[in-house]
Amino acid sequence: MKKNIAVIRGDGIGPEIVGQALDVLNKVAELYGHEFSYTDVDMGGVAIDKYGDPLPREMLDKCIASDSVLLGAVGGEKWNGVPGHLRPEKGLLRLRAGMGVYSNNRPAKIWPQLSEASPLKPEIVAKGIDFIIVRELIGGIYFGEHKTEALESGEKQAVDVLVYSESEIERIGRIGFETAMKRNKKLCSVEKSNVLDSSRLWKSVMHRLAEEYPEVELSDMLVDNCAMQIVKNPAQFDVIVTENMFGDILSDEASMITGSIGMIPSSSLGNTSCGLYEPIHGSAPDIAGKDLANPIGTILSAAMMLRYSFDMVAEADAIENAVSKVLDQGYRTADIMPPEAVSFKKVGCKEMGRLIVDNIV
C-alpha cells in the first residue's frame, strides 16, 4: 500500500522522537511491502522562526492533503513571550480545527514490564490495564457560550452553556463503536444522565447506534462512577466514549495510572481516515538535544496510525510486540528506569529506537 504521511517534527525533543518513529515506519514498509512517503511540515516554534506564523496556510494544506499526520511536539521557552495568537500551541489548535478532527483517542495501557511505575496497588495492576478513551473534542461546554454577568444584587454570576446536537453525538459515537470493533468489542458510554439533559440525549443516541453494531456490547456508566472504576477496576474497560469535559478529566486520570508520560500515544480523528497522531507529552525542553527522550509514545502513535487510519493491523501489532520485547530485554530510557536497578540497561533515544526497529519481525 502507498501512503503519504505529513511529518511535523516540531520543537524541543520533537525532531529526536519523530526520527525514531520514521525509522520504525520504514522497517514496517520494508517488511510488509508498503511504500511510505513523507512530507515535512513546519509547525510551532520552528515555523514562527521561519515564517512568523505557527502554522502557515500552506503547511496546514499539506497536512489536509496527506493520508495522515505524525506530530512530535511543539513549544518552548524561546516562544513564551510571543503574542497569544502566535504561540506555538495555536498552531496545534489550528491544525486540529483545520483537519476537522473531533475525536481524541487516548489509550491507557500498562506494560507489565513497567507495572511498578503505576500508583495503583499491584493486585489491581496485575489484572491488566488496556483501554482507550474516545473523547469528543470540539463540542460541549468548552465550546458553548461563556459569560459573567452582574445580578441586580450586585453579585456576579457566571454561565457556561453545554450544548450537544444529535449529529454531534452520533459522529463521536460511531468512532467509539468503530474503535470497539477493532478491539475487544466492549464499549462503555459515560455520561451524567441522572442530572443532565445533554447526557440523556447522549445515552439515547448511543443506544440507537448500538443497533447498527450488534457485535459490540454497550454499557452505560455515570461519570462519577467511572472516575472511581478507573482506579478500582480498570481491567473492566475496553473502550470508553464520552463528551468533551468528562473525557478531558478521565483521560488525564487514566494516563496517570499507567505510570509514564513518555509511553503514551494518541490519535485524533474526524470524518475521514486522515488522522493526527502524537504522543501526549510536550516538547520537554529540559532534555532536548541530549539523546535522553523516550521515543516510545511517538513510535506507538505511528502504530496507532497504521491500525486506525491505514487498517494495517498486523503491522501495528508488529510494532507493539517489538516495544514489548525490548522492554522484556530490560532496556529502559532514563524516564522509565527504576532507581538502583542493576538488571536493567539504560539507553538513549536513538538506541531505544534502533532496538525497536531490530525487534520488528
Q: Catalogue the active-site residues.
A: 142, 192, 224, 248, 252
Which of 9, 192 has the CB closer to ligand NAD?
A: 9
Footprint of ligand NAD on residues 130-169 (CB under 6 A)? none
Give the binding-site size for ligand NAD (rule: CB under 6 A): 22
How far apart are the two ends of the chain, measured CA to CA in Å?
A: 18
Which of 54, 139 has the CB closer to ligand NAD?
A: 54
The reply on whether position 89 binds ligand NAD by CB under 6 A is: yes
User: Whole-angstrom Cα distance, residue 261 to residue 20?
Assistant: 17
Please report how close the Cβ of residue 38 comes to ligand NAD at its closest, in angstroms. 19
Q: What is the DSSP-derived secondary structure letter of residue 56?
A: -
The reply on whether position 262 binds ligand NAD by CB under 6 A is: yes
Please report how close the Cβ of residue 75 comes to ligand NAD at its closest, in angstroms. 3
Beta strand extents in the chain (DSSP E only): 2-10, 35-40, 68-73, 103-109, 130-136, 146-150, 156-160, 186-191, 217-222, 239-242, 265-269, 276-279, 331-332, 345-346
What counts of helices (H) and strands (E) characterise the chain? Answer: 12, 14
* Binding piece for ligand NAD, criterion CB under 6 A, among 52-60, 68-76, 93-101, 127-135: 68-76
The reply on whether position 287 binds ligand NAD by CB under 6 A is: yes
Q: Which of 17, 72, 78 is nearest to 45 (CA)?
A: 78
Q: Are 139 and 301 in contact (CB under 8 A)?
A: no
CB atoms within 10 A of CB 291: 15
Q: How many CA atoms lie within 13 A of 169 on its CB side?
A: 23
Please select the residue that binds ligand NAD; options are 15, 54, 76, 275, rule is CB under 6 A: 76
Footprint of ligand NAD on residues 288-347 (CB under 6 A)? 293-294, 297, 335
Which of 144, 285 has the CB closer to ligand NAD?
A: 285
Amino acid code (one letter) for 67: D
The reply on whether position 281 binds ligand NAD by CB under 6 A is: yes
Instruction: Give contact residues for ligand NAD (rule: CB under 6 A).
Output: 13, 17, 73-76, 89, 92, 261-262, 278, 281-287, 293-294, 297, 335
